[in-house]
Amino acid sequence: MFDSLLFDLMLVVLIGVLSQWVAWRFRMPAIVVMSIAGLLVGPIFGLINPQETMGELFGPIITFAVAIILFEGSLNLDFKEIRGFSKPVARIVTVGAFIAWIAGSLAAHYLAGLSWAVAFVIGGLFIVTGPTVILPLLRQAKLKPRPAAILKWEGIVVDPFGALLAVFAFEFIKFLDREVTLTSLLLFFAASAFAAFIGWGAARVMGNAFERGTLPEFLKAPILFAVVIFTFVFADEIMHETGLLAVTAMGITMANMRLTTLQDIRHFKENISVLLISGIFVMLTASLDPRTLIEIFNPNIIAYVAAMLFIVRPLSIWLSTIGTELNVREKLLIGWIAPRGIVALTVSGYFASILLENGYADAALLTALTFALVLSTVVLHGFSISFLAKKLNLTTTDESGVLIVGGSRFAAALAQSVKDTGNEVLIVDRSWANLTYARQLGMPIYIGDILSEQTEYHLDLTPYRYMLAMTKADMYNAHVCADFTPDLGRDHLYQTAFHVGKDVQTFTIMGGQTIFTPDVSIYELEDRMSAGHVIRKTMITKQYSYTQYLRERDDKSILLYIFRIDGTIEFFTPEVELQAFAGDAVISLTSPEKIIERVKERLEEAVPYEKIEELFIGDDKAEKTVIPGDAPLSSQ
């Protein structure tokens, strides 16, 4: 429609980013939304055709994007975290990946009709699942920790190596099919080793420069971006197809150097990667030939996709996990869930062009084949994971875990009270110093930005039903709640009251519910903790009703939450008036004068001294006190 490179680039970026937003807002797989958008503006309505408009630039842009995406993905391969998981993970990412490669290659050859060379290349690539599609599904399904951890780490570990396996398969098949000399094949492996060395060296140089302060903060991310491109091109010029290995080795090395500035670099790379993934995926789908869409319904392709779904994936999981602690239900779920993502499609396009240049005419089918597999797996797995997980009893639907965003003394005390109820709790903050009180109490903590995609790679959020945004940055709290609304729902998202005045209180409509009371901000809560206020637990019984508790409680106390008799938690908010019943416990923040008053009352009733402790642990009005950093009240 518009014969303009500038228009095509603008539309690609705009559609890609809008597709990501639509997917986030309506809890849909992003790749499905981008697929539909790309097809609409490309082969269906013919608005753009990036491949024709960009000409020779199309291939290099795709190649650079793939290099950066793989580098960003390999930055998540921290071997220390991987070693923390049990034997099934190691089996699946090694033995399982090998079985999936061989079985997938056989299916591509015998069912899709591809030559051995193309079949083994695409078979190696399709071992990937990918965190970009796995992580949203895990949040949606609320899986139990073990299957969730296995699926997550499989996606992260295998994702960068799928392309590398395809590269090695391509070179090896060329050696077999074209009778390339052994010297040439050994030269390729030597060049590959040298490419890995180049990536390792670039990572060491950049890491040392970061740690020694050689580079200013504002130049670290741009220079790293330039070095990644340089590393890729330099290795690829020595021998084609080794650039991907170089940037992957660079990312893995930097991920395991324990760099103090790596979190900021990851955040920058994450933003670049999201933009590239959005744009490149739209470019690929918009450039599809309408005949490619028709080819998707080719019986051979349909048979191949069915084999990958119902034979190759289950077979690789069941064989690789023999002798592990996984039960039958977990194997069934993991053997079904394997959505292919954006990396598979982008890298497939990259290899399709290379194979065609090397005379493999059947490589023209790769785009249709890949698109069919990606779309089928994302749709089928995306809409079935929750149902199947519930049927197999692998969901954590009854949890009342609490994730607190923002470290403080009050947050630490609140986390301690939640932990005492037997529910999961975690405090997340970007600052180590803000987590001082939490560390003193031994509370689970995580240092990082909850809004960063990198946090999703390293933090399992499935045990947490509630999220409490309690940092001292009000707008940040609102953004946190708004960002997680599609995943948790606004009913499970809370933020502390604004402290800068009631005029901006309406902004909380965009975020979560105001927790506790609209008149008390996190600053006021911190001031009360400093003044000696404590968190108390009061049991409600038939003899001591909730109405009586409200009538007798300290006017200065703040109602925090109710711990129900069934083990669940409900937080107090101005929007909903809660009622407590016999067997429930009311948790509140109360001044110490109330405790002293109760002790005096009991002493006046001639309660023996050794019975005073019952005020806190056992009688009908039992009250438990949590004082961060102080000794137990009974010993003072």
Average confidence (pLDDT) over 518-535:
89
For the chain, the C-alpha Rg in angstroms (whole number) is 28
What digits encode the pLDDT tens for the residues 565-580?
888 899 999 888 889 9
Query: Within the chain, which residue ranges are assigned CATH 1.20.1530.20?
Result: 5-50+58-391
What's phi and psi for 126, nearest 5 deg?
-80, 10
Q: What angle do CA 105, 108, 111 make, to 5 degrees?
A: 135
pLDDT for 179 equals 54
Task: Return all residues near 614 (Cβ < 8 A) that are at least 6 apart.
Answer: 622
Helix/strand/coil for 559: strand
Q: How far is Cα 193 from Cα 298, in angstroms, rounded to an integer?
A: 40
Among 12-21, 70-79, 232-241, 354-363, the range with the most confident prediction by mean pLDDT is 12-21
What's phi and psi for 519, nearest 5 deg?
-100, -5
Do the Cβ atoms of 554 and 544 come closer than 8 Å? no
What digits encode the pLDDT tens for the residues 58-99?
878 877 887 887 787 677 666 765 565 567 888 888 899 999
Task: Return all residues near 125 (Cβ < 8 A) that are at least 6 apart.
Answer: 162, 163, 165, 166, 344, 347, 348, 351
Helix/strand/coil for 532: coil
Helix/strand/coil for 451: coil
Do the Cβ atoms of 93 and 158 come closer than 8 Å? yes
> Both tokens of residue 478?
């609102």
Instruction: List beta partners, residue 561.
Output: 571, 587
pLDDT for 167 equals 73
Among 66-70, 374-378, 485-489, 586-590, the range with the most confident prediction by mean pLDDT is 586-590
The label of the residue with tokens 């990396």 reads 343
pLDDT for 317 equals 93
More confident residue, 161 or 180: 161
More confident residue, 84 or 215: 215
The band of 271, judged by pLDDT with boundaries at 50, 70 and 90, is low
pLDDT for 632 equals 35
What digits encode the pLDDT tens for the residues 402-454?
999 999 999 999 999 999 988 889 999 988 889 999 999 999 999 888 887 66
Average confidence (pLDDT) over 500-518:
64
Q: How far is Cα 335 from Cα 150, in angstroms, rounded to an integer?
A: 11
pLDDT for 334 equals 92
On the CB side of 7, CA atoms within 13 Å amount to 9
pLDDT for 398 equals 55
Do the Cβ atoms of 87 and 324 come closer than 8 Å? yes
Which pairing describes strands 464-469 and 401-405: parallel, antiparallel, or unpaired? parallel
The band of 295, judged by pLDDT with boundaries at 50, 70 and 90, is confident
Closest CA to 89 of 244, 320, 395, 319: 320
Closest CA to 165 of 198, 129, 123: 123
Closest CA to 131 of 483, 456, 485: 456
Q: How far is Cα 481 from Cα 490, in angstroms, rounded to an integer?
A: 8
Which of 8-17, 387-396, 507-516 comes out lowest in average pLDDT?
507-516
As assigned by CATH, the class of the 401-635 domain is alpha beta
Do the Cβ atoms of 255 and 262 come closer than 8 Å? yes
Run of H or E residues at 425: strand 425-429
pTM of structure:
0.67
DSSP 496: P
The label of the residue with tokens 């391509």 reads 170
Which pairing describes strands 534-539 and 623-626: parallel, antiparallel, or unpaired? antiparallel
The type of residue at 475 is M
pLDDT for 576 equals 82
Among 37-41, 170-174, 237-241, the range with the most confident prediction by mean pLDDT is 37-41
Closest CA to 358 of 181, 18, 115: 115
Say whether pLDDT at 337 is over 60.
yes
Task: Return all residues near 189 (Cβ < 8 A) that are at least 6 apart.
Answer: none
pLDDT > 90: percent of the chain: 21
The stretches of 392-452 forming alpha helices (DSSP H) are 409-420, 436-441
Helix/strand/coil for 27: coil
Helix/strand/coil for 487: helix
Average confidence (pLDDT) over 392-404:
78
The band of 104, judged by pLDDT with boundaries at 50, 70 and 90, is very high
Say whether pLDDT at 629 is over 50.
no
Average confidence (pLDDT) over 248-255:
86
User: Angle of helix 182-212 relative to helix 243-255, nearest 10 degrees?
Assistant: 40
CATH 1.20.1530.20 fits 5-50+58-391, yes or no: yes
Say whether pLDDT at 626 is over 50.
no
Query: Within the chain, which residue ranges are assigned CATH 3.40.50.720?
Result: 401-635
pLDDT for 202 equals 93
Say whether pLDDT at 309 is over 70.
yes
Strand segments (E) across 478-632: 493-495, 513-514, 534-539, 558-563, 569-571, 585-590, 623-626
